Protein backbone atom coordinates (compact mmCIF):
# COMPACT_ATOMS: atom_id res chain seq x y z
CA UNK A 1 0.00 0.00 0.00
CA UNK A 2 1.23 3.45 -0.89
CA UNK A 3 1.69 6.03 1.84
CA UNK A 4 -0.51 9.10 1.62
CA UNK A 5 2.46 11.39 0.95
CA UNK A 6 3.86 9.25 -1.87
CA UNK A 7 0.41 8.82 -3.40
CA UNK A 8 -0.12 12.59 -3.37
CA UNK A 9 3.32 13.24 -4.84
CA UNK A 10 2.69 10.79 -7.71
CA UNK A 11 -0.81 12.17 -8.33
CA UNK A 12 0.77 15.62 -8.66
CA UNK A 13 3.44 14.18 -10.97
CA UNK A 14 0.66 12.81 -13.22
CA UNK A 15 -0.49 16.43 -13.58
CA UNK A 16 3.07 17.57 -14.43
CA UNK A 17 3.37 14.88 -17.11
CA UNK A 18 0.04 15.92 -18.63
CA UNK A 19 1.19 19.53 -18.49
CA UNK A 20 4.38 18.50 -20.35
CA UNK A 21 2.21 16.81 -22.97
CA UNK A 22 0.07 19.95 -23.23
CA UNK A 23 3.12 22.22 -23.44
CA UNK A 24 4.67 20.20 -26.27
CA UNK A 25 1.36 20.02 -28.13
CA UNK A 26 1.14 23.81 -27.83
CA UNK A 27 4.67 24.04 -29.25
CA UNK A 28 3.55 21.75 -32.12
CA UNK A 29 0.68 24.16 -32.80
CA UNK A 30 3.10 27.10 -32.81
CA UNK A 31 5.40 25.30 -35.26
CA UNK A 32 2.47 24.43 -37.53
CA UNK A 33 1.34 28.08 -37.47
CA UNK A 34 4.87 29.18 -38.40
CA UNK A 35 5.43 26.63 -41.19
CA UNK A 36 7.89 24.30 -39.46
CA UNK A 37 6.10 21.00 -40.14
CA UNK A 38 9.07 18.81 -39.19
CA UNK A 39 9.52 20.50 -35.83
CA UNK A 40 5.77 20.11 -35.30
CA UNK A 41 6.08 16.35 -35.88
CA UNK A 42 8.88 16.14 -33.31
CA UNK A 43 6.75 18.00 -30.77
CA UNK A 44 3.71 15.79 -31.41
CA UNK A 45 5.80 12.69 -30.74
CA UNK A 46 7.21 14.33 -27.62
CA UNK A 47 3.70 15.22 -26.48
CA UNK A 48 2.59 11.61 -26.93
CA UNK A 49 5.54 10.35 -24.86
CA UNK A 50 4.58 12.65 -22.00
CA UNK A 51 1.04 11.27 -22.10
CA UNK A 52 2.56 7.78 -21.81
CA UNK A 53 4.57 8.95 -18.77
CA UNK A 54 1.35 10.18 -17.11
CA UNK A 55 -0.26 6.79 -17.75
CA UNK A 56 2.77 4.96 -16.33
CA UNK A 57 2.37 6.83 -13.04
CA UNK A 58 -1.40 6.25 -13.19
CA UNK A 59 -0.93 2.48 -13.53
CA UNK A 60 1.64 2.44 -10.74
CA UNK A 61 -0.79 3.99 -8.26
CA UNK A 62 -3.44 1.46 -9.33
CA UNK A 63 -0.97 -1.46 -9.04
CA UNK A 64 -0.11 -0.42 -5.47
CA UNK A 65 -3.77 -0.29 -4.48
CA UNK A 66 -3.79 3.50 -4.30
CA UNK A 67 -6.28 6.05 -5.56
CA UNK A 68 -5.64 8.17 -8.64
CA UNK A 69 -7.00 11.70 -8.27
CA UNK A 70 -6.46 13.86 -11.34
CA UNK A 71 -5.59 17.52 -10.76
CA UNK A 72 -6.29 20.57 -12.94
CA UNK A 73 -3.77 21.13 -15.73
CA UNK A 74 -2.49 24.69 -16.28
CA UNK A 75 -2.78 26.24 -19.73
CA UNK A 76 0.57 26.20 -21.54
CA UNK A 77 1.98 29.28 -23.33
CA UNK A 78 0.78 29.55 -26.93
CA UNK A 79 3.23 32.11 -28.27
CA UNK A 80 6.99 31.81 -28.49
CA UNK A 81 9.70 34.15 -29.74
CA UNK A 82 11.48 31.79 -32.11
CA UNK A 83 12.50 28.19 -32.80
CA UNK A 84 15.46 28.74 -30.45
CA UNK A 85 13.17 30.06 -27.74
CA UNK A 86 10.95 26.97 -27.96
CA UNK A 87 13.78 24.46 -27.57
CA UNK A 88 15.40 26.50 -24.81
CA UNK A 89 12.08 26.28 -22.97
CA UNK A 90 11.96 22.51 -23.60
CA UNK A 91 15.39 22.12 -21.99
CA UNK A 92 14.48 24.26 -18.96
CA UNK A 93 11.18 22.39 -18.60
CA UNK A 94 12.87 18.97 -18.69
CA UNK A 95 15.38 20.11 -16.06
CA UNK A 96 12.46 21.12 -13.84
CA UNK A 97 10.77 17.74 -14.38
CA UNK A 98 14.03 15.98 -13.44
CA UNK A 99 14.07 17.92 -10.16
CA UNK A 100 10.44 16.94 -9.46
CA UNK A 101 11.18 13.25 -10.05
CA UNK A 102 14.29 13.47 -7.87
CA UNK A 103 12.14 14.98 -5.10
CA UNK A 104 9.72 12.03 -5.23
CA UNK A 105 12.65 9.63 -5.15
CA UNK A 106 14.07 11.41 -2.10
CA UNK A 107 10.69 11.03 -0.42
CA UNK A 108 10.59 7.31 -1.30
CA UNK A 109 14.08 6.86 0.16
CA UNK A 110 13.01 8.64 3.35
CA UNK A 111 9.98 6.36 3.67
CA UNK A 112 11.86 3.16 2.77
CA UNK A 113 9.46 2.70 -0.15
CA UNK A 114 11.61 0.42 -2.32
CA UNK A 115 8.91 -0.31 -4.93
CA UNK A 116 8.49 3.39 -5.67
CA UNK A 117 12.26 3.82 -5.92
CA UNK A 118 12.42 0.91 -8.40
CA UNK A 119 9.58 2.39 -10.47
CA UNK A 120 11.20 5.82 -10.48
CA UNK A 121 14.49 4.42 -11.79
CA UNK A 122 12.91 4.23 -15.26
CA UNK A 123 11.98 7.92 -15.06
CA UNK A 124 15.41 8.91 -13.73
CA UNK A 125 17.02 7.24 -16.76
CA UNK A 126 14.40 8.73 -19.09
CA UNK A 127 15.18 12.24 -17.81
CA UNK A 128 18.86 11.76 -18.70
CA UNK A 129 17.72 11.07 -22.28
CA UNK A 130 15.21 13.93 -22.30
CA UNK A 131 17.77 16.50 -21.14
CA UNK A 132 20.39 15.14 -23.53
CA UNK A 133 18.05 15.33 -26.55
CA UNK A 134 16.87 18.85 -25.72
CA UNK A 135 20.32 20.22 -25.03
CA UNK A 136 21.70 18.72 -28.26
CA UNK A 137 19.03 20.53 -30.28
CA UNK A 138 19.64 23.78 -28.34
CA UNK A 139 23.39 23.50 -29.05
CA UNK A 140 22.80 22.84 -32.75
CA UNK A 141 20.38 25.77 -32.98
CA UNK A 142 22.96 28.06 -31.39
CA UNK A 143 25.43 26.98 -34.03
CA UNK A 144 23.21 27.36 -37.09
CA UNK A 145 21.20 30.53 -36.33
CA UNK A 146 17.66 31.36 -37.41
CA UNK A 147 16.42 31.28 -41.06
CA UNK A 148 19.49 29.55 -42.44
CA UNK A 149 19.49 26.53 -44.74
CA UNK A 150 20.63 24.46 -41.78
CA UNK A 151 17.42 25.28 -39.94
CA UNK A 152 15.41 23.90 -42.86
CA UNK A 153 17.54 20.77 -42.74
CA UNK A 154 16.95 20.46 -39.00
CA UNK A 155 13.20 20.79 -39.62
CA UNK A 156 13.45 17.98 -42.14
CA UNK A 157 15.52 15.75 -39.84
CA UNK A 158 13.40 16.23 -36.70
CA UNK A 159 10.31 15.59 -38.83
CA UNK A 160 11.57 12.02 -39.28
CA UNK A 161 11.09 11.28 -35.57
CA UNK A 162 8.95 8.24 -35.01
CA UNK A 163 9.25 7.07 -38.62
CA UNK A 164 12.89 5.82 -38.62
FE1 LIG B 1 7.83 13.03 -18.79
FE1 LIG C 1 9.85 14.84 -20.79
The low-confidence residues of the chain, meaning pLDDT below 70, are 146-147, 164
The Å distance, Cα 34 to ligand 1 centre, comes to 26
For 152, the enclosing helix (H) or strand (E) is helix 149-158
Other residues' Cβ atoms within 10 Å of the Cβ of residue 17:
24
So where are the chain's domains?
Answer: 4-158
Ligand nearest to the CA of 120: 1
Which CA distances in Å does 57 have to 20, 48, 81, 117? 14, 15, 33, 13
pLDDT value at position 152?
85
> How far, in Å, from the CA of 121 to the mean position of ligand 2?
15
What pLDDT does residue 147 have?
Answer: 64
CATH tag for 4-158 (out of 1.20.1260.10, 1.20.1560.10, 3.30.420.240, 1.10.3720.10): 1.20.1260.10
Q: Provide the pLDDT for residue 1.
A: 85
pLDDT at 145: 76
Strand (E) or helix (H) holding 69: none
**Ligand 1 midpoint to CA 17 (Å):** 5
Rounded to 5, what percent of the chain is helix, strand, coil?
75, 0, 25
Ligand nearest to the CA of 16: 1
Q: How far does the centroid of ligand 1 lie from the alpha carbon of residue 21, in Å?
A: 8
Amino acid sequence: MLSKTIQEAINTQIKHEFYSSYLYLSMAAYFEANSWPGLAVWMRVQSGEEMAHARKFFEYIVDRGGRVVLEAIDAPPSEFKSVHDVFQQVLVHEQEVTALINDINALAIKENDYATQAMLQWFINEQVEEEKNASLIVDQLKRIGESSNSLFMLDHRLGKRGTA
